[in-house]
Amino acid sequence: MPPTLDSGANAPGATDPGRIRNFCIIAHIDHGKSTLADRMLQLTGVVDPRQMRAQYLDRMDIERERGITIKSQAVRMPWTIREGDQAGEHAVLNMIDTPGHVDFTYEVSRSLAACEGAVLLVDAAQGIEAQTLANLYLALENDLHVIPVLNKIDLPAAQPEKYAEELAHLIGCQPEDCIRVSGKTGDGVPYLLDEIVRQFKPPVGVADAPARAMIFDSVYDVYRGVVTYVRVIDGRISARDRIKMMSTGAVHELLEIGVISPEMQKADALGVGEVGYLITGVKDVRQSRVGDTVTINSRPATEALGGYKDPKPMVYSGLYPIDGSDYPNLRDALDKLKLNDAALTYEPETSGALGFGFRCGFLGLLHLEIIRERLEREFNLDLISTAPNVVYRAIQEDGVEVVVTNPSEYPTGKIAEVYEPTVRATVLTPNDYVGAVMELCQGRRGNLLGMDYLSADRVELRYTLPLAEIIFDFFDQLKSRTKGYASLDYEPSGEQASELVKVDILLHGEPVDAFSAIVHKDKAYNYGVTIAAKLRNLIPRQQFEVPIQAAIGSRVIARETIRAIRKDVLAKCYGGDISRKRKLLEKQKEGKKRMKMVGRVEVPQEAFIAALSSDSGDGKAAGKK
């Protein structure tokens, strides 16, 4: 019978910090984090085996379907050490689930900051991948103790010996220190839980200091408003307190406080080192931001905890309803999603080709894809998104700085310098594909920072790359050139000055805003030719000739022509005199000239949609890593 949470020394608010262990599981995608978390919930008795369903913690439908974790959760689990000298000792484990994707690095870093230890999970059939490394570095930056764990040892293809060597080499321990488990069968998991209590340090904090708690997640719940997840660092927050957000100074009434185990359980208070949730009735996650410090209004702390950052959109894209009358619905839907997503930004925009829509800012391509999918699925909207672009900073010769989130805002005057965001990318690949990876990165304007052999056949390559170069099909290319063996992770690393130009696409002399793009000058020609060729195939022939041009400023760099439909005026003219045929053709030409002058190209909207959607990479690049 597992010890219950809500009684005596184990009750939230009364737990001795010495018994608490706050930890997270970090892993490359698909290495089995959710499965291991499920098994822990089951073994610690917080989930009844009858209610157990796969990936208990991934609540959102999209998460479950795609098998990825987007929002973090924190679960409180009681555990009694089973073996060794400390057998019988009770502990309270708080498992903080971290989002696994690069787009959410900031959220990951805040979740890590709420822990003392990290379980580094590696698939024993695959070994270390790029995200394993990126997460490990983040954990070490946050001073976390790391327990290396090899998962999926039940698989016939598992090679725990080989990968234990690799892992040990990476973190500087002995291969036998790597714990072997199977999240699927549960093998080794009780031992891992024992080791978590033994190896991770309990939290330290000042119990009688003014309260300070760090927000590591906040989610919007339709019925309850915003639910804020916190880790108490110092002091104590009790159910009767009024709380204050230190970044904004806003004061809120506390409606409820508690812990998740694995459903919400009300509590009287949260003390030093404890992890739980707060409900204040606010309706917008922006008022309860990840990374912010919560204190108590009656006795506020003077200094906030470090590490708070405003979420900053990295990628922008225009979202347009396919049916123009859906525009108000799209606006309402975005308003609703914003409540749950502090990083989503949007403002109205109009496009000559696509009508009314919104320019939206996202943390990355996966974020874009998730929002788009939620809009389509939960709000029943049919949408078209323009090709995503990054944020550029253009300095004009007169010193004025313009921040460009949409190619159509690109200044037309003389520009002294343009800056684009860069990322620091880590690629892990088997030795055989080093050449292919280097070729790809060089082709994408990459700058090699370093290269390390993690083992005889596994190489880590570090590059600085422009963000714009990897948001399209970089990941697909990497996978196809390395037969799927390479993995990629990246984090923002500032910006660099680049030779960028804006390429416009003109249809019959008129620029079409939806196709304008900012590209490196060496790639402008290629972009122009590709889009022009694509449009030529998509736009039906008209009564008159339609030129499609790609231009940088007034200089045309590519041209395609949609030939006019020629009515067969000679059809009725069997044999006969050549001069008569010529006369008919001349007459036709005259007529066409007139049409060309008065004519306007009729482009079906489907053509735009087809041209844009195939260009947006279908978000494949943002998929699983």
Ligand X SMILES: Nc1nc2c(ncn2[C@@H]2O[C@H](COP(=O)(O)OP(=O)(O)OP(=O)(O)O)[C@@H](O)[C@H]2O)c(=O)[nH]1
Give the annotated binding-site residues for GTP.
30-35, 151-154
Q: Report 31-60 residues binding ligand X (CB under 6 A).
A: 31-35
Give the range of 41-49, 148-156, 278-286, 594-602 binding ligand X by CB under 6 A: 148-156
Instruction: Please give the annotated binding residues, written as ranges.
Output: 30-35, 151-154
- C-alpha to C-alpha distances, 134 to 37, 109, 128, 202, 449, nearest whole angstrom: 21, 11, 11, 25, 15
Give the range of 178-186, 503-511, 519-527, 529-537 binding ligand X by CB under 6 A: 178-186
CB of 153 to ligand X, least distance (A): 7
**Peptide bond before 262: cis, by omega within 30 degrees of 0?**
yes
The angle that helices 521-538 and 605-615 make with each other, rounded to 10 degrees, is 140
Give the range of 27-35, 317-325, 347-355, 484-492 binding ligand X by CB under 6 A: 27-35
d(CA 2, CA 50): 16
Q: Residues 6 or more apart from 290 whose CB is under 8 A from it?
A: 106, 107, 110, 215, 216, 217, 218, 311, 342
Q: Which of 398, 399, 458, 391 is nearest to 428 (CA)?
A: 458
Q: Is 27 in the site for ligand X (CB under 6 A)?
A: yes
Q: Which of 386, 418, 387 is nearest to 401 (CA)?
A: 418
d(CA 235, CA 39): 33
The residue ranges of DSSP E strands in 85-224, in sequence order, are 90-97, 117-123, 145-151, 179-180, 212-221
Nearer to ligand X, 27 or 197 (CB): 27
Nearer to ligand X, 100 or 313 (CB): 100
Write each residue from 152 to 171 as x if it is in contact with ligand X (CB under 6 A), else as -, in one continuous string. Answer: x-xx----------------
Out of 11, 29, 434, 436, the only residue in the binding site for ligand X (CB under 6 A) is 29
Q: Is 71 in the site for ligand X (CB under 6 A)?
A: no
DSSP 8-state code for residue 541? P
Q: Is 435 in the site for ligand X (CB under 6 A)?
A: no
N residues, the chain = 625
Out of 26, 41, 46, 68, the only residue in the binding site for ligand X (CB under 6 A) is 68
Q: Is 183 in the site for ligand X (CB under 6 A)?
A: yes
Out of 72, 73, 94, 151, the only residue in the binding site for ligand X (CB under 6 A) is 151
Nearer to ligand X, 65 or 499 (CB): 65
Write each residue from 542 to 581 as x if it is in contact with ligand X (CB under 6 A), else as -, in one continuous string. Answer: ----------------------------------------
CB of 214 to ligand X, least distance (A): 23
Q: Tell me the number of residues near ligand X by CB under 6 A.
A: 19
Nearer to ligand X, 44 or 549 (CB): 44
d(CA 606, CA 340): 32
Q: Please check whether residue 32 is in contact with residue 183, taking contact to mean a CB–CB distance below 8 angstroms.
A: yes
Out of 73, 98, 182, 295, the only residue in the binding site for ligand X (CB under 6 A) is 182
CB of 369 to ligand X, least distance (A): 14
The residue ranges of DSSP E strands in 190-250, in sequence order, are 212-221, 225-234, 237-238, 242-245
CB of 160 to ligand X, least distance (A): 12
Nearer to ligand X, 484 or 575 (CB): 484
Instruction: Report the chain's terminal Cα–Cα distance, integer Å.
Output: 40
Q: Residues 6 or more apart from 83 whose CB is under 8 A from it?
A: 191, 194
> What residues line the site for ligand X (CB under 6 A)?
27, 29-35, 67-69, 100, 151-152, 154-155, 182-184
